[in-house]
Structures are given as C-alpha cells and as structure tokens.
C-alpha cells in the first residue's frame, strides 16, 4: 500500500503544480492587487491598504450588481429547473417522436453563448425584432426590451433561460432514467395518480440529483458574463450590470486594476460560500450512496 | 405526428383522453416553437435582402450576401480554426494533467487526498472573473497577449478541475481487482497503469476531452480580454459584429448558424453523457 | 457482457467523433495556413470594424503591397470600444501584439502619455522638409501641439464634425412643404438653428399606418451604449459647452454653477431630453440604436433626419451622398463660443514595432492623395488635409459645409483620462436618454464621475 501511496502522489503532482499552485498564486496576486491602486494607463501604482474595499462597499452601483446577480441566478435557476423538470417528465413519459422532441429541446445548446446573445439581440429589436413583429401581429403594442432600464435585465435573463435550460433538462432526464423502475411500478399498482407518483415517489428519489444539478447550475450562473456583456454591455445607464460585467468594466474600461481585483475578491468570497454549501451536500449524498 | 399515451391505452373516458392528447400536442408545439424560433429568425435574416422586415412576414428581397461575406470576404473560418485549435491544445494539456490525477484520487482514499480532491472541487466553482486581472497582467508581462498559448494556459487551469473530477468518476467504475491480479502476476505499477487501467478508461477520457473541448470552444470572457488578432476566437469575432460600424445583422445571423456545425457532431456523442459530466458524477 | 459491448460501441463512436473533429480542424488549419503567405514584414494595423471610411483603403491594400513587396499589412478590425481598450492596454503593458494604432480624439492623450508611440519627426523632415510644413497641411495640427515637445506622433487621415442628415424625398415633397409652411410659418429646408431642428423633427414624427404607434421618427442619433457619451459630448458642445474641463481653480467645470461649460451642457442636455420625452420625436429606444440599427431604419424609411458625425455612416451603398440623402452642418446654439467637437481619426506607430520604416510608408500611403481621394469618393469622408478637401469639394464628394464645419471645430479635452471620462459620460448620458434621471441630475453625476476619475474637488 505504501507503494500505491507513493505512485499516486507522483501522479497527482502535475495537477497540484499546474492547477492548484498556479491558481492559488493568481488569487494571491489578485488579493495583493486589491490592496493597491494600480492603473498603468494613468501611471499610478501605490499601496493603499483596504481603501479599495471601503470604496466598493460604498459604491451603490457595485452593491446593486451583487443584488442583481443574486436575482439573476435565482430566476434563471428557479424558472429553468421548473421548465426543465416539466420537459424531462414529458419526454420521459415516452410517446412516438419523444426522441425527436428531445433533440429539439436541447438544440438551443448548439448556439454558442456569444452567438446566442447576438441572435437574441436581433429578436428583441424594437423595429426589426421578431418578438415585436409577433406582438404587433397579435394586436399588442410594441415594447422596447434591451433599451428599457426595467426590462433589459430580465430580457437577458430570458435569453439565459432559453439557452441553458436544456442542460438542466439533460441532467433531470438522466436522473429520471437512473431511478429504480420497480418503485414507480409499485406506486402504479397502488393506484396513485400521476401527480401523486411524481410528488411522493419520483421527486424524493430524485432529490439528490435535483439538488446537485441546481447547485451546480447556480454556481455556473453566478459567474455569468457573456450574455449581459454582449446584449446590453451593462446598460442602459448601468442598469443591468452584474458582478462579472462591472468587474470587467472596472478593469478594462476604467483601467483600475486594483479596484477590479477587490471586486473579484468579493465575488470569490461569495462563490466560496456557495461551493461550501455544495461540498457539504455533495459529500453527504455520495457518502450515503457508498 | 401521431401520438399516444399509456393513459389512453388503459381505457379512460375517450373525451378526457382526447383532451389530454390535444393538451399534449399544444404543449409539444409550444416547446418546439420556444426552442426553435430564434434559429428560424436567424435563418430568415441571414438570407434577407436590402430591407429588413418591419412586420411579421417574409422580407421583400433575398440575397446571399451575408454568406458571401462570412465565407469569403471576411472569412470567419480563421476564427473558427483559432477556437478549435486552442480548444484542442487545451484538451491535450488537460488530459496529461487530469488522467493521472483522476486515477490517483480514485485509488487513494486517504484523508489528505480527499481533502485535496475537495480543493479541486472548489476550483471548479471559482468565479473566473477573479482570475482575469492577475492573469492579464501576467500574460502582458510574459508578452503572451494575443497568443494561442495564453488561452491554452488559461483554459487548462479553468477546465482541469472538472476533468479531474470526471476522470475520478470513470476510474471509480474500473474494479481494483484487475490491478491487484496483475500485481500478483508480477507486473510493475507503471506497466499496470499503461497496459491495464488506461485502456479501460479511454471511453471516459474521450468524454472528458469532448467536454473540455466544448467549454474551451465557447469561452468568451478570457478570449475577449487576451486576444487581439492572431489568436482571436470565434465568440469574440461574432460579438464584435455588433458594433459602431456596418450593417452586419445578416452576417451575424449567418455566422451564428455556421458556428453550430462543429457542435452538432459533438452533441450527437455527448447528449447522453453531459448530465453525468456536469453533475460531477452524481448521476450514475 | 452487454456492458462491455456498450463500452466498445462507445469507444468506437467516440473515436469517430474525435477523428471527425480532427479532420474538420485539419482542413480548417490547412486552409488557414495557406493564407499566411511568405515571410515579409507584417504590420498589424487596427481599425474600426466595418467602418466605411477605411474600407476603400483596405480594398487597395493589395496595390500597396505590390509597390512595397517587403511589407504586409494585417488589418485588425475591432469594435469601437474594444479598439481603444486594446490599444491602451498595448501601450500600458507593452505587450508587442500591435505595430500601429488607429485612434480618434479620445485615444490620443493616453496613447501619447504612455510614451510608447513612435516619433515620426525624422521621417517627416526627410520627406516633407519640416514639421511646421507638415502640420500646416492639416486642419488643426498647427494649432495643437500634441506632444508638448513638437513631436509628430499621430497623423490624421480622417476629419469629422457633427452633421445633420435628412431624407431628400421628404424635404422636397411639395405637399410637405406647403403643410410645413402653413404650420410653422417658414419654408421647409435643412434647418439652420436648433429651434428649426425641433420644428422639423416634430413635423416629421408620424404614425403612418394609424395603429397608434409612431413609425417615422423625426430625428435620431446613434446612441448605442458604447458611443452615447461621444454623441452627448458633441451635441452638448454645439450648445456652447466649451471644451474646458477645469476652471481656473482646478475644479471640474461641469460641476461649477454658472460656468459656461456647465450652462452649455445643461442647455444641450435639456434640449435633447425634451425632444425625447416632451415632444416625443426621438425614439425612446435610442440607447439600442447603433450604426447598424440606424442604417436599417433609414432603409426601411423610419427616420426623417439624424444628427451624426460626418462621413462615418452615410456612405452606405444604398444612401449615397449626394443622392437620396441631404446633409447640413449641425447648428450652433446662439451665443455658443466654441464650435463643434472636431474629431480626427489618426494613425500612429508603436516604438516597439520592428520596422519603423514600414510604418512610415503605411502612414504616407494612407495620407496620400490617391487613397484620400478613394476614401472621400467611396464614403464621403472629409480629408484632414486642407488642400485635398478643397479638391474633393469641387468634385462633389464632400459638401462645402464640411470645410466650414471643420474650420470652426474645437478639439476636445486633451487629458490622459479622456477615455475614462468618456466611459463616465456613456453611463450617465445613457441614464438620461432612458429617462432615469433629469438633465440636471445627469450633468451633476457626470461632474461627480469626472471628479472621481480626475481626483479633483
């Protein structure tokens, strides 16, 4: 066994050096930067302690972007998982053409996020977008989406739901497949309605998969950047900035690397909390399975 | 489409069954429309002539200019190549790192290793924006901006934790008994690894590689920050179509549709495995 | 048994998918490698993506390369905001990814102050006699010492002022003319004051199909979120917002009560705000109107008039000037001391580039009469070289009024932080045109943002 231990340590070394050590070094750098005011464009580079943190905590725009990413994650994951569960149950039910429907459902994933964002920008356009064409055809008034300070953010959320719900669908669908069929059959023999079957048999059995799927999706959604940056650039008037875009803007539009680093340390803290929750649940579930 | 449900077979009242069937058809239709209408509109716009439609209906004229532009005038192929190559190199580096690591984590269950493994899980959850600024400065100092290497390095540290996790899962399904039997036969540790374990893990490794390839292919944030020209990837290119500049709506739609082609092949293979991969093996 | 079989099909399927991907990539790689060509000095020259004014030059790259077989120009087309961002980063990090820079007025100060730009004096003196003679050829170069030390760093190849553009078919329709006269008491013509702009815009804002929604907007600018700050600065400057950034005591002029800069900015912002939300003759979705959207709207007949920068945008093949579209100099508010924001686009070289001679050849080529003529003819752009511009006016490629506009134009804030101020103006004026804050609040918050950027009281 000693030999096994030795060889496994050697085998895991590259990963430790190339990934763990390097990432830790980078995060250390980020923390070090966050204590400085560093802006090569205007040639400032000085140590200022925690002033960057004091400033971003007093920055209403930044606080709002945190609130917004929480809302964003909540809506995308919440609606997404309901929708995905519905679709998974529907396809799992099995009818002729269910396989084709499955392909149709996952097709949004074929559009890479950058392309998805641009296509939806066209859909939302006031004059030429399909959504307003349909609204007009149905007799409703046209609405501006990406140019409206209230709606732009939610319009982006809808796009995210469109393109990444298929992922949750696949996770839930695989989860349904992995259920033991005899428990469902037993419920059927007992004369349970399909709703009861879902609520009392399927859902409890699927709970670990649903929770893990949702947690992972939350973490992934939390670091969203591309849809917002492509569709609104955080606009109109900074009304759809989330933590990712506002950090990016601070670094690459205002060239305030120190401030951007302190923002990213804050988002790191938040996602650490999220991953701790995940880790706790994951180890509990996997241990029980073993 | 002819539909039937098991409920209808069990003999419920016909009207109720009919209503259910209609409801099912409506729901399915809505799902199809919901999933496909952006594609349909992008397709329509990419063939659109001079004036875009201002109300529901077909455009007044059609043209192939958009495709002429994205294929010949300003070929997006170059950017697709960049994306594909960067993703490919990432796959190679990630496999070299993650396959041995995955094996170690699978075979060594000591406390220290479990802890280390959890650390890698935390890395999987890292907000990438936290790495952008320090990496950017590092790449700038190393004169690596706008090189494929900068993105390969970045994507490696982004994707390796997920890959290690996947590989651990695959190695877990290979029984230790095989190795022990080989050990008894007098084979060395390394021989066992190369001759016994790795061949069995190939199918898992392929899934892992395709995942890493996919996520590197679609990455936007780092590609946007690190590339200028030589290494510009497709997502950055297509996002740039939306700019103070020229009428690129049609080209944008055309390019979006073209970019799907490589992914179609990928998804044929990945669909069944994606769920398992993304939930870190929680689904067996 | 079944499991093993499944695994085997899995392996073979996976191998096939991988092989397929490899073949796909190999094919792409070969086609890409072939395009690389032979070893020459490659000069990477960034430019604004899809910009019509630069297109005639790009189209003639092959001619240049035939003349200079040892130089290859690699055009790098980037969206406006990214173009600036990447050049600044290049200058501040010295990453060596770009050989040349192309920038408008916002980018000149920071690039200059980075100390990374290549002084062109020895080339200018060699080929044009003296720096003074060189500067004299251009519209403002002799007035502004860009470097503080008399160095030539940036060479303009494109000159710009805000202009009005209108649809000739509407303005020349006799019925419209009669109606307009009856309503406003004077003849319908390209407006000369901002009051007339408002009248015309109100007059042409219409609901054509009677469904209660406006389908023809009186006036627009392109205010997409990356660029709205630039439009705001330029329209505010036409209302007399002088280009003074700081007052005598070193305070941010926009925040000082009674300062002409603040008064002008307030007047200008209020005017546009009223056009949008009181008169409702500008689309409320202005913030999503970039050049592409504006073009599409012109072609679909949704806009009667626009205020925009000259030459950048109106040279779409479908909107040839002069043709269906007429142009006029953007008015100045009465009493406005300063002119419009005059903007250049300039090219420059990075010190770190390997071949300085090649950079100079490219600059000379871009400002040569042949290329300037091609750019003016192809896009209606103004040439920054006075003598050329006069020739082009005679040929009818650029309008007479462009020359007047250029002569009166002022050069905006010449500070390193200009791009950062620009970003502040983008966000805050974006809030104004989406009706989140009043013009006064907007000016106050812009001043506040400026103070933060400039670290001033």
pLDDT digits (tens, 9 = 90+) for A12-45: 888 888 899 999 999 999 999 999 998 877 778 8
C288 → closest Cβ in A40, A41, A146: A146
pLDDT of residue B12 exceeding 80: no
pLDDT for A290: 45
Q: Is any Cβ of chain C less than 8 angstroms from the Cβ of B264? A: no
Query: What pLDDT, on a 0 to 100 scale, did the predictor assign at position A283?
Result: 81
The pLDDT, as a whole number, for residue C147 is 64
What end-to-end distance do the CA atoms of chain B give, in Å?
A: 33
Interface contact C25-B52, CB threshold 8 A: no
Q: Please list, in sequence order, all residues whose beta carbon lies within 8 angstroms of the beta carbon of residue C101, skipping any fewer than 6 positions away.
A: C46, C87, C90, C91, C107, C111, C117, C347, C348, C349, C350
Q: How far is C105 from chain B (nearest CA, A)?
A: 16
CA dihedral B284, C1, C4, C6 (to 10 degrees): -70
- Whole-number average pLDDT of chain C: 80
C292 contacts B247? CB cut-off 8 A: yes
Q: How far apart are CA B83 and CA B259, in angstroms?
A: 11
pLDDT of residue C15: 56
Give me A287's structure tokens.
Answer: 């241990």
- Cis preceding linkage at C322, omega within 30: yes
pLDDT tens digit sequence for A269-290: 999 998 888 888 888 877 665 4
DSSP letters of C271-304? HHHHHHHTS--S-TTGGG--HHHHHHHHHTT-BS
CB contact (8 A) between residue A237 and residue C212: no
pLDDT of C343 > 80? The answer is no
A171 contacts on B by Cβ (under 8 Å)? 274-275, 278-279, 283
Q: What percent of chain B has pLDDT over 90?
A: 22
Asked if the Cβ–Cβ distance from C430 to A42 is below 8 Å, we say no
% residues pLDDT > 90 (chain C): 11
Give per-residue pLDDT as tens, B69-91: 888 877 888 889 899 999 999 99
DSSP H or E stretch at residue B263: helix B260-278
Q: Is C14 on the interface with B (CB under 8 A)?
A: yes
pLDDT the model gives residue C90: 82
Please give the residue of chain A at the shortest CA–CA distance from C296.
Answer: A128
Cα–Cα nearest to A119, from B50, B41, C424? B41
State the pLDDT confidence band at A228, using cuts at 50, 70 and 90. very high
Confidence of residue C1 (pLDDT cuts 50, 70, 90): very low
Q: How far is C388 from chain A (nearest CA, A)?
A: 36
Q: How far is it, in rounded angstroms, from Cα C229 to Cα C106?
A: 11
Pairing state of beta strands C71-78 and C41-48?
Answer: parallel
Tell me the residues of chain B between 172 and 211 that have a Cβ less than 8 Å away from chain A: 189
Lowest pLDDT segment from A146-150, B89-93, C28-32, C45-49: C28-32
Residue C187 CB coordination number (10 Å): 8
Q: Is C345 helix (H, G, I), strand (E, B) or coil?
A: strand
DSSP state of B196: I
What are the Cα distances from residue C365, in Å, to A156, C307, C353, C361?
Answer: 45, 31, 18, 6
Tokens describing residue B37 = 């209408």
Total count of residues recorded for chain B: 284
Query: Strands C100-104 and C343-349: what pairing?
Result: antiparallel
Asked if residues A153 and A242 have their Cβ atoms less than 8 Å apart, the reply is no
**The pLDDT of residue C414 is above 90:** no
Q: For residue B206, give the nearest of B106, B281, B99 by alpha carbon.
A: B99
User: Among B35-49, B175-189, B226-240, where is mean pLDDT lowest?
Assistant: B175-189
Average pLDDT over residues C409-413: 72
Residue C405 scores a pLDDT above 80: no
User: For residue A236, is the peptide bond before it cis, meaning its omega torsion is within 30 degrees of 0?
Assistant: yes
At residue C6, does pLDDT exceed 50? no
**Which residues are within 8 A (CB) of B243 and not within 5 positions of it... i.e. 6 or more apart?**
C48, C49, C50, C79, C80, C226, C290, C291
CA distance C255 to C317: 44
Partner-chain contact A253 C85, CB within 8 Å: yes
| pLDDT average, residue stretch B207-218 | 89
Q: How would residue C164 be classed by pLDDT, with cut points 50, 70 and 90?
A: confident
d(Cα B256, Cα B39) in Å, to the nearest integer? Answer: 9
pLDDT tens-digit map of A114-126: 999 989 998 998 8
Higher pLDDT, C402 or C317: C402
Checking if the pLDDT of C32 tops 50, the result is no
Instruction: Among A161-165, C50-54, C397-401, name the most confident range.
Output: A161-165
pLDDT bracket for residue B5 (50, 70, 90): low
Range 37-96 of B in CB contact (< 8 A) with C: 50-52, 54, 74, 77-78, 80-81, 84-85, 88
Chain A contacts to C (CB-CB under 8 A): 40-43, 125-128, 136, 141-142, 144, 146-149, 232-239, 249, 252-255
- How far apart (Å, rounded) are the C-alpha atoms in residues A114 and B236? 7
Contact A265, A30 (CB under 8 A): yes
A251, B219, C70, C76 from B222: Cα distances, Å = 13, 7, 34, 19
Residue with the bigger pLDDT between B160 and C9: it is: B160
B201 and B76 Cβ atoms separated by less than 8 Å: no
| pLDDT for the residue B20 | 85
Neighbours of B125 (CB within 10 A): 21
C90 shares contact with chain A (CB less than 8 Å): no
For residue B184, pLDDT over 70 is answered with yes
Rounded to an integer, what distance in angstroms lies between the CA atom of residue A151 and that of residue A49?
A: 39
CB–CB of B102/B82 below 8 Å?
A: no
Structure tokens at C176: 């419209």
Q: Does pLDDT of A265 surpass 90? A: yes
What mean pLDDT do residues C172-197 have?
Answer: 89
Residue C144 pLDDT > 70, yes or no? no
The Cα C11–Cα B200 span in angstroms is: 10
Answer yes or no: is pLDDT of C361 > 70: yes
Structure tokens at C309: 């920068």
Cβ separation A235–C286 shorter than 8 A = no
Of C29, C52, C98, which is closest to B246 when you measure between CB atoms? Answer: C52
CB contact under 8 A, A226 and B221: yes
Nearest chain C alpha carbon to A238: C427
For residue B241, what pLDDT band results from cuts at 50, 70 and 90? confident
A229: CB partners within 8 A, 6+ apart? A244, A245, A248, B220, B224, B239
Within 8 A of C416 by CB-CB distance, chain A residues are: 41-42
The alpha-carbon gap from C295 to the nearest alpha carbon of chain B, in Å, equals: 7
pLDDT band at C37 (very low <50, low <70, confident <90, very high): very low
Evaluate whether C284 touches C142 at the Cβ level (below 8 Å). no
Chain C environment of A235 (Cβ under 8 Å): 225, 287, 427, 430
Tokens 């990455």 correspond to what residue? B219
Q: What are C162's strand-pairing partners?
A: C309
Q: Is the model's pLDDT at B284 over the cut of 70?
A: no
| Average pLDDT for B176-193 | 77
What integer pLDDT is reported at residue C143 of this predicted model? 64
Scan for tokens 């490589």, then name that residue.
B262
pLDDT at C323 exceeding the cut of 60? no
How far CA C122 is from CA of B145, B153, C125, C134, C141, in Å, comes to 31, 42, 5, 12, 17
Q: Which of C122, C130, C82 is CA-nearest to residue C103?
A: C82
How confident is the model at residue A229, as a pLDDT? 92
Measure CA of the first residue to CA of the last residue in chain A; give whole Å.
22
Nearest-Cα residue of chain B relative to residue C289 = B244
Beta bridge partners of B170: none
Q: Among candidates C386, C388, C384, C395, which has minimal Cα distance to C321? A: C395
Q: Report, as an integer, the average pLDDT of C294-298.
A: 81
Beta bridge partners of C382: C159
Question: Which DSSP string corresponds to chain A?
Answer: -HHHHHHHHHHHHHHIIIIIIHHHHHHHHHHHHHTEEEETTTTEEEE-TTHHHHHHHT-HHHHHHHHHHHHHHHHHHHHHHHHHHHHHHHHHH--TTHHHHHHHHHGGGGS-HHHHHHHHHHHH-TTT-HHHHHHHHTTPPP---TT-TTTHHHHHHHHHHHHHHHHHHHHHHHHHHTS-HHHHHHHHHTT--HHHIIIIIIHHHHHHHHHHHHHHHHHHHHT--HHHHHHTTT-STTTT--HHHHHHHHHHTS--HHHHHHHHHHHHHHHHHHHHHHHHHHHHHHHHH-
pLDDT value at residue B29: 92
| Closest CA–CA distance from residue A137 to any residue of chain C (Å) | 11
Task: Please state the pTM of the whole predicted model.
Answer: 0.87
Q: Cβ atoms within 10 A of the Cβ of C130, count?
A: 11
A260 pLDDT exceeds 90? yes
Residue in chain B closest to A219 (alpha carbons) equals B125
CA angle A144-A236-C109, nearest 5°?
140
- List, as one string, the DSSP characters of B77-97: HHHHHHHHHHHHHHHHHHHHH
Q: Does B220 reach chain C within 8 Å, measured CB to CB?
A: no
Output the 3-class SS for A164-191. HHHHHHHHHHHHHHCCCHHHHHHHHHCC
Of B50, B141, B146, the CB nearest to C299: B50
Residue C22 has what pLDDT? 59
- Give the least confident one: A242-251, B89-98, C81-90: C81-90
CB proximity C168 to B under 8 Å = no
Determine phi and psi for B218, rounding to 5 degrees.
-100, 0
Task: Give the pLDDT score at C3.
Answer: 41
**CB–CB of B141 and C97 under 8 A?**
no
The model's confidence at residue B36, banded by pLDDT at 50, 70 and 90, is very high
Chain A residues within 8 A of C288 when measuring between CB atoms: 125-126, 144, 146-147, 236
- Give C293's contacts in chain A (Cβ within 8 Å): 125, 127-128
Cβ atoms < 10 Å from Cβ of C86: 25
- Which of C19-28, C203-212, C331-340 shows the lowest mean pLDDT across its residues? C19-28
Where is C328: in which H helix or E strand?
strand C325-329
Handedness of CA B188, B190, B195, B197 (dihedral sign): positive
With CB atoms and an 8 Å threshold, state whether C32 touches B51.
no
| Residue B265 sits at the chain A interface (C-beta within 8 Å) | no
Q: Which of A128, A232, A255 sits opposite C88 (nearest CB)?
A: A255
Which position has the higher pLDDT, C123 or C37? C123
Which one of A130-134, C91-95, C452-456 scores highest in mean pLDDT? A130-134
pLDDT in tens, A169-227: 988 888 888 888 787 778 777 777 878 888 888 888 888 888 888 888 898 899 899 99
Mean pLDDT for C2-24 is: 52
């Amino acid at each position: 066994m000693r030999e096994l231990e030795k060889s496994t340590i050697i085998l895991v070394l590259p990963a430790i050096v190339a990934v763990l050590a390097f990432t830790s070094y980078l995060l250390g750098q980020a923390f070090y930067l966050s204590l400085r005011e560093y802006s090569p464009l205007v040639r400032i580079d000085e140590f200022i302690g925690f002033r960057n943190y004091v400033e971003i905590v007093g920055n209403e725009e930044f606080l709002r972007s945190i609130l917004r990413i929480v809302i964003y994650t909540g809506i995308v994951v919440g609606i997404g998982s309901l929708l995905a569960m519905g679709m998974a149950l529907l396809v799992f039910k099995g009818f002729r053409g269910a396989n084709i429907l499955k392909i149709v459902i996952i097709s949004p994933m074929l559009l890479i996020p950058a392309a998805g964002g641009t296509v939806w920008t066209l859909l939302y356009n006031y004059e030429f977008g399909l959504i307003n064409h349909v609204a007009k055809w149905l007799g409703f008034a046209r609405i501006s989406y990406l140019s409206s300070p209230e709606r732009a953010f939610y319009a982006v959320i809808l796009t995210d739901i469109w393109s990444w719900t298929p992922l949750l669908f696949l996770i839930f669908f695989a989860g349904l497949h992995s259920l033991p069929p005899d428990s469902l059959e037993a419920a059927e023999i007992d004369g349970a309605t399909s709703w009861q079957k879902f609520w009392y048999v399927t859902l409890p059995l699927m709970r670990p998969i649903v929770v893990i799927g949702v947690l992972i999706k939350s973490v992934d959604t939390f670091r969203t950047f591309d849809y917002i940056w492509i569709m609104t650039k955080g606009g109109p008037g900074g009304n759809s900035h989330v933590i990712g875009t506002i950090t990016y803007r601070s670094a690459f539009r205002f060239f305030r690397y120190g401030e951007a680093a302190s923002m990213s340390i804050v988002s790191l803290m938040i996602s650490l909390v999220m991953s701790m929750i995940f880790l706790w649940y994951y180890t509990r579930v996997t241990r029980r399975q073993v | 489409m002819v539909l039937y449900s098991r409920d209808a077979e069990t003999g419920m009242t016909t009207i109720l069954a009919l209503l259910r069937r209609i409801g099912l058809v409506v729901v399915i239709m809505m799902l199809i429309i919901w999933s496909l209408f952006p594609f349909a509109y992008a397709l329509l716009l990419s063939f659109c002539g001079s004036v875009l439609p201002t109300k529901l209906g077909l455009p007044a004229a059609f043209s192939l200019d958009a495709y002429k532009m994205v294929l010949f005038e300003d070929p997006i192929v170059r950017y697709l190549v960049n994306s594909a190559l960067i993703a490919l190199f990432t796959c190679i580096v990630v496999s070299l790192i993650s396959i041995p690591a995955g094996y170690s984590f699978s075979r060594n269950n000591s406390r220290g290793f479990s802890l280390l493994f959890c650390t890698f899980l935390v890395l999987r959850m890292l907000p990438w924006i936290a790495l952008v600024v320090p990496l950017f400065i590092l790449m700038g100092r190393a004169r690596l901006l706008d090189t494929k290497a900068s993105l390969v390095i970045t994507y490696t540290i982004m994707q390796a934790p997920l890959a290690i996790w996947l590989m651990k899962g695959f190695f877990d399904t290979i029984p230790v008994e095989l190795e022990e039997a080989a050990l008894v036969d007098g084979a060395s540790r390394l021989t066992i690894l190369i001759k016994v374990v790795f061949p069995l893990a190939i199918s898992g490794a392929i899934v892992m590689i395709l995942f890493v390839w996919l996520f590197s292919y679609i990455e936007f944030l780092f590609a946007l920050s690190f590339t200028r020209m030589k290494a510009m990837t497709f997502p950055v290119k297509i996002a740039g179509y939306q700019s103070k500049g020229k009428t690129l709506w049609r080209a944008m739609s055309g390019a979006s549709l073209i970019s799907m082609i490589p992914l179609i092949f990928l998804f044929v293979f990945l669909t069944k495995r994606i769920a398992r991969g993304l939930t870190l093996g929680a689904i067996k | 048994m079944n499991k093993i079989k499944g695994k085997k099909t899995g392996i073979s399927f996976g191998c096939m998918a991988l092989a397929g991907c490899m073949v796909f990539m190999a094919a792409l790689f070969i086609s890409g490698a072939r395009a690389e060509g032979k070893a020459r000095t490659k000069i990477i020259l960034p430019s604004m993506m899809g910009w019509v004014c630069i297109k005639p030059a790009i189209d003639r790259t092959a001619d240049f390369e035939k003349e200079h077989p040892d130089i290859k120009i690699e055009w790098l087309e980037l969206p406006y905001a990214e173009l600036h961002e990447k050049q600044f980063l290049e200058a501040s990090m010295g990453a060596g990814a770009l050989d040349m820079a192309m920038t408008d007025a916002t980018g000149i100060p920071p690039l200059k102050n980075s100390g990374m730009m290549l002084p062109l004096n020895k080339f200018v003196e060699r080929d044009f006699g003296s720096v003074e003679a060189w500067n004299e050829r251009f519209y403002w170069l002799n007035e502004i010492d860009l470097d503080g030390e008399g160095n030539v760093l940036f060479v303009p190849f494109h000159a710009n002022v805000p202009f009005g553009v209108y649809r000739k078919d509407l303005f020349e329709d006799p019925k419209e003319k009669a109606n307009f006269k009856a309503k406003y008491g004077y003849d319908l013509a390209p407006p000369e004051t901002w009051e007339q702009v408002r009248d015309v815009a109100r007059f042409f804002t219409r609901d054509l199909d009677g469904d209660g929604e406006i389908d023809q907007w009186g006036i627009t600018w392109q205010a997409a979120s990356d660029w709205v700050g630039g439009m705001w600065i330029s329209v505010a400057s036409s209302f007399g917002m002088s280009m003074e950034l700081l007052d005598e005591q070193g305070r941010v002029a926009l925040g000082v009560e009674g300062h002409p800069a603040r008064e002008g900015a307030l007047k200008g912002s209020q005017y546009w705000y009223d056009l949008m939300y009181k008169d409702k003759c500008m689309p409320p979705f202005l913030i999503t109107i970039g050049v592409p959207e504006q073009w599409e709207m012109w072609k679909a007949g949704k806009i009667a008039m626009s205020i925009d920068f000259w030459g950048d945008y109106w040279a779409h093949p479908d909107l040839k000037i002069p043709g269906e579209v007429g142009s006029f100099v953007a008015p100045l508010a009465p009493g406005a001391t300063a002119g419009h924001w005059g903007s250049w686009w300039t090219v420059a070289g990075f010190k770190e580039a390997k071949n300085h001679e090649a950079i100079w050849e490219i600059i000379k080529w871009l400002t040569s009469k042949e290329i300037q003529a091609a750019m003016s003819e192809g896009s209606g752009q103004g040439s920054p070289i006075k003598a050329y511009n006069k020739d082009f006016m005679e040929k009818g490629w650029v309008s007479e009024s462009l020359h007047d506009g250029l002569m009166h134009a002022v050069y905006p804030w010449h500070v390193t932080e200009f791009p950062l101020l620009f970003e502040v103006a983008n966000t805050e004026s974006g809030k104004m045109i989406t009706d989140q804050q009043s013009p006064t609040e907007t000016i106050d918050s812009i001043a506040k943002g400026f103070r933060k950027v400039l670290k001033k009281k």
